[in-house]
Structure 1
């Protein structure tokens, strides 16, 4: 399997603000500079993957992707055979431990439900049907309470965690499960989205959103990418702090089995869809 001569990269998962988008692009650029050095130079360029789940899924499956980031749920539902894992990020935010993360289940602070049980009949905001943090983790949390029946009065698919936060803040929804990394970035960059919210629960810890490359990249090249990323983070402490990215842990697809287990557990409760 021949490797492409030119590789592409995109890190779209935590672009909470224009400045963060620029920082992720800077990380890619510095990694590209490192890969261009040495006896076997590699060309890596940033490319816009497009917007929406369909565009992202198509981008992740491209043969020439050398650096991107995906959610663990699509990884365990068809994407794994197309990619190699570069590693799992270690974020320095509340809710993350080592390479794991959680979802925070949030409501309005003033008049929101006090417990998850009290959310029966409420309006749930969900960023995407293929999101672990926004759908799978919330489905797993609700499954024992639903008793095979519809639990929420309505499920609103918003398109992003930021839109879910806005929906609760604006009174269009009552509860959502939010990736704790996104929540921390939102608190820093868009504090108006979280100022009036309260966390009522947290979901179990699972490995965070993995950095990935195409299967067409050799294992040796993927190792070079991880090493280059770690070197950039060590040598640029300001960038590391702004991205809250402390490290990258080598992981395999098998590490993400807890995500698939949570989906199976919900199905065993008879609660197959978030509803």
Structure 2
């Protein structure tokens, strides 16, 4: 079988795209899985994560707990060295314009939220959980506009087309480093609740022995693999099982219990 690898989640700049591809190459080499493997870009999400022949990818935790448990295997979760992360847990940065007049989350009532995707934990689920205690009759925002990506949400807030967005704190840190002009005039109002971060996963077709080789390499990287981590601000990897990712569904349930099942 011909295998494919795609790491599309954090490619906000050519440097980071190349860095994640270098990481993937070093990982496959250490695991002895570098033959008959093709690196692919611009994959259609979320469908790609169920693609036959998937060897390695990184997914969002929300689609994992809602749709992917039977189609991928958890390998390990990165521990990023950025504000908002604690070990392999991460949060969303709640981003507003510095001159928006929004000093607390309650001040965002009736304003416009920019959200990347409906299946995003960081952009949708964590924002829904954050505002659920403030919602009235199932509503909090004046409007919710779907942007298609975290970077597009940031652009909407900066341009005044939206007033607030929940941005994966790793993406936010990357944007601040790689594209500082894109975040000028913006501020972090606060952070969401924490959940396990975006896991690396293997496809359903990958043999168990190969899955174990990948996980072993991630948890005990050799010198070549270690050298690819620092440019990505990854300190290490931790194995997080299904019980850890159930935290994402728990936050969804908490919002529903408060009468706020949909971001609105």
Taking structure 2 as the reference length, the TM-score comes to 0.94
Match of 1:136 among 125, 136, 150: 125
Matched, 1:17 2:13: yes
Partner in structure 2 of residue 235 of structure 1? 224
Q: Does the alignment pair 1:192 with 2:188?
A: no
Answer with 111-120 or 235-244: which moved more: 235-244
Structure 1: how far apart are the matches of 2:237 and 2:37? 19
From the superposition, tell whether residues 182 and 71 of structure 1 become closer, same or farther in structure 2 (CA, over 3 Å).
same
Residue 157 of structure 2 corresponds to: 168
The one of 28, 49, 69 aligned to 2:24: 28
Q: CA deviation at 1:35?
A: 3.7
Q: CA RMSD in A?
A: 1.8
1:227-260 deviation digits (Å, cap 9, x = unpaired)? 3345657435553221111111112122111100
- TM superposition shift of 1:42: 5.0
Superposition TM-score, scaled by structure 1 size: 0.90
**Counterpart for residue 48 of structure 1:** 41
Q: Is the 8 A contact 1:49 1:59 kept in 2?
A: no
Does the CA contact (< 8 Å) of 2:3 and 2:54 recur in 1?
yes
Hey, what's the Cα distance between the residues in 2 that align with 1:29 and 1:159? 28
CA contact (8 A) 1:141 1:203 kept: yes
Equivalent residue number for residue 248 of structure 1: 237
| Worse-superposed segment, 156-165 or 140-149 | 140-149
How far did 1:191 drift?
Answer: 0.7
Consecutive unaligned residues of structure 2, counting only runs of 5 or more, are: none
For the 8 Å contact 2:4–2:55, the answer to whether it is kept is yes
Provide the residue aligned with 1:86 in structure 2. 75
Matches of 2:147 and 2:121, distance apart in 1: 15
CA distance in 1, matches of 2:108, 2:249: 25
Q: Aligned pair 1:7/2:3, yes or no?
A: yes
Between 195-204 and 101-110, the greater mean CA deviation after superposition: 195-204
* 1:61-210 → structure 2 map (5 Å cutoff): 61-210=50-199
Q: State the 1:72 CA deviation.
A: 0.5
CA distance in 2, matches of 1:232, 1:188: 26
User: Cα–Cα, structure 1 residues 24 and 180, in superposed 2: closer, same or farther, change >3 Å?
Assistant: same
Does residue 221 of the first structure (1) align with residue 207 of the second (2)? no
1:2-51 deviation line (CA, Å, top 9, x unaligned): xxx332100000001011111111112222333447xxx7532202352x
Aligned partners of 1:247, 1:223: CA distance in 2, in Å?
Answer: 17
